Amino acid sequence: MAQDSPTFSPLYRQIKSLIMQGLETGEWRPGEAIPSESELAERFSVSQGTVRKAVDEMAAENLLIRRQGKGTFVASHNDPRAFFRFLRLIPISGGVEPSHSMPLECWRAKAGPEAARVLQINIGEPIIVVRRLLQFSGKTVVVDEIYLPGEVFAGLTLDILKDYQGSLYSLFETRFGVRMIRAEERIRAVAADRVSAELLNVEEGAPLLSVERVSYTYGEKPVEWRRGLYSTAEHCYLNELS
Amino acid sequence: MAQDSPTFSPLYRQIKSLIMQGLETGEWRPGEAIPSESELAERFSVSQGTVRKAVDEMAAENLLIRRQGKGTFVASHNDPRAFFRFLRLIPISGGVEPSHSMPLECWRAKAGPEAARVLQINIGEPIIVVRRLLQFSGKTVVVDEIYLPGEVFAGLTLDILKDYQGSLYSLFETRFGVRMIRAEERIRAVAADRVSAELLNVEEGAPLLSVERVSYTYGEKPVEWRRGLYSTAEHCYLNELS
DNA sequence: GAGTGGTCTAGACCACTGC
DNA sequence: CAGTGGTCTAGACCACTCG
C-alpha cells in the first residue's frame, strides 16, 4: 500500500523546528542556555523524551551543546573548542601551533555572475571582499579571499577585522548575528601565482591547495564564499572519513 | 565530589560492545540482518529501548543500517550506496560519472620503517603493494599506490584485482573478510613526477592533489595505507564540514 | 540539596515491508 | 496479516554541577 500520510513528520521533528525557530529569531543566543528539557516539554506539551530526541539531533548537528548537570547551550563560534571545526589544516610534524589571522584589505564591490550564483543574490548587488593571511607560528600558510553579501555584513571594515581578537566566524556571530552552521569545501591543486607565491614564501608555480568554501547559515542560506590558497610544505589538510 | 565510578559505562554501551563482538567474530556478516531489537533485548536481558540506543549509535557510525519494516543490517561495501563513502572526488562540471578501477601491478615487499609505523607491523614483515588507476569516463584521474599487510591479504594477486567487479573495499570484504570502517586522509599539493604525469595525461610538474589515506578496521586496526595522486583539472575533492 | 542532563524500563501505538 | 523498525509516553533512578 502507498504511504498513508506523505507529509508525515514525527512529533520530535516538529519540536526540533520550534527550537530551531528560537535559534533563528535570536530568542536564545549563541553561548546561552536554552530552557531545560522539562521546561520545553511543558511548553510544547509533549513528554520529556520527545524533547530529548529533538535536542539529540540538534546536538549531533552541532547546533546545541549538552553539558550534563549544567544545561543545554546554543553552540557558539566563540567557544574555543569550535575553533578547528572548519579549519582542517594541521602541521605535518604533529603538535598544535598557535594560529593568527592577519587581514590585509577589505573593500566594497558589486557581485559578478559567479559570486551572485554562489551567494544566491542578484548580479550587481553589493558585496564585501576581504583578503587576509593565516599564519601558524609566524609563518604564512594560507592566503584567503573572502566574499560576503554586503547587505548582511554592512559596516564591516578593515579596522574591525584587525581589532577583533578571535576567529572570523566568532566576529561574524557576535558583531553581525550571522552563525555559520555548515560548509562545503572543494579542493584542487593549483600552481602559485606571483602574488600568492610571495605572500606564502614559495616559488612561483609551486603547487598549492586551492580550497573553495561556501558557508551556510540557518535555512541553508549561503553567506560566505571563500577561496584559500594553502601552502602544504609543512602543513596538510586532514579529513576524517567515516 | 569526585566521580563515584571512574569506569562507569552505561548499559547501552555494553550492549553495543556485545553487538560489535558479533560483527568482529563474523556471527553476522556484512549484508546480513542482525536479530530484531526485541530478540536482542531478550538475549541480553535488557529492555528494547536500551538495545535501540546501542543500535542507534552503531547506525550513526555506519556500522549498521536500519530499514524500517525489514530489519537492521550489517553495513557492507557491496552496497552500491556505500561506494562514494570514501571517495570524495566529483567532476567539477557536476553530474555523476561512471568510474572504473584499473589495476596495474601487484607485488610483494617487506615493510620499510614508514609502512611499518603506519600499518603498525614490524619492519621487514611482508606487505603487498598495488598500483592502480582510477578512471572517470575513460580518463585517468587518480593514480594510487596501496600498501597492505601481507598477513591479512595473503593470496592477493593482480589477476584477482583485475577480475573483480566492484570497489576495492568490496573485494577486501568479500574475499578477505576485512571491513574498512574509518579512514583518515591527509591532503597536500605536489608537483607531478614524470611517471604520474604521463599516466594522468598532464605536464610534468603540474600541480596534483596528494591524498594519503590510512584505513582502519574493527578495533582501530590500520589495514591499508594508500597514497593517491589526483588530477584536479576536471575534478575536485569535495568535503562537507559540519 | 536542588536542578540539570543521562540512563533504563514497560507498554502502547504508528509506519513500513513482504507474504 | 505478522513482523520489523519508529515514535511517544510516564515514571524511576543515576551522574554531574554548583551554590
**Measured between CA atoms, how close is B186 to chain A, in angstroms?**
5
Q: Is the pLDDT of residue B5 over 70?
A: no
B67 touches strand D (CB under 7 A): yes
What mean pLDDT do residues B6-25 have?
Answer: 93
When CB atoms are compared, the residue of A86, A190, A239 closest to B187 is: A239
Q: Does B93 touch chain A (CB under 8 A)?
A: no
When CB atoms are compared, the residue of A86, A213, A238 closest to B186 is: A238
Q: Is the pLDDT of residue B84 over 90?
A: no
Of the residues B237, B238, B240, the best mutation for testing chain A's interface (the one with the most A CB atoms within 10 Å of its CB) is B237
What mean pLDDT do residues B102-118 have?
Answer: 97
Tell me the chain A residues in contact with residue B183 when contact means C-beta distances shorter than 8 Å: 240-242
d(CA B101, CA B140): 9
When CB atoms are compared, the residue of A183, A189, A241 closest to B185 is: A241
Nearest alpha carbon to residue B214 among A185, A204, A240, A121: A240
**pTM (2 d.p.):** 0.94
**How would you write chain A as a 3-class SS string?**
CCCCCCCCCCHHHHHHHHHHHHHHCCCCCCCCEECCHHHHHHHHCCCHHHHHHHHHHHHHCCCEEEECCCEEEECCCCCHHHHHHCCCEEECCCCCCCEEEEEEEEEEEECCHHHHHHHCCCCCCEEEEEEEEEEECCEEEEEEEEEEECCCCCCCCHHHHHHCCCCHHHHHHHHHCCCCCEEEEEEEEEECCHHHHHHHCCCCCCEEEEEEEEEEEHHHEEEEEEEEEECCCCEEEEEEEC
| Residue A239: pLDDT band with limits 50, 70, 90 | very high
Q: Is the pLDDT of residue B7 over 80?
A: no
Of the residues B61, B68, B88, B186, the best mutation for testing chain A's interface (the one with the most A CB atoms within 10 Å of its CB) is B186
Note whether B187 contacts A209, CB cutoff 8 Å. Answer: yes
A56 touches strand D (CB under 7 A): no
What mean pLDDT do residues A222-230 have?
Answer: 98
Q: Report the distance from CA of residue A24 to the C1' of nucleotide D4 in Å, as an integer.
A: 38
Note whether A238 contacts B184, CB cutoff 8 Å. Answer: yes
User: pLDDT tens, A73-119?
Assistant: 999 999 988 888 999 999 998 788 888 999 999 999 999 999 999 99
What mean pLDDT do residues A26-45 have?
Answer: 97
* pLDDT of amino acid A98: 85
Domains of chain B: 11-74 (1.10.10.10), 83-237 (3.40.1410.10)
B4 touches strand D (CB under 7 A): yes
How much is the mean pLDDT over chain B? Answer: 95
User: pLDDT tens, A155-213?
Assistant: 999 999 999 999 999 999 999 999 999 999 999 999 999 999 999 999 999 999 999 99
Note whether B237 contacts A86, CB cutoff 8 Å. Answer: no
- Residue bearing cell 615493510: B111
* pLDDT of amino acid B95: 80
Q: Is the pLDDT of residue B48 over 90?
A: yes
Note whether A184 contacts B239, CB cutoff 8 Å. Answer: yes
Q: Report the distance from CA of residue B58 to the C1' of nucleotide D7 in Å, as an integer.
A: 20
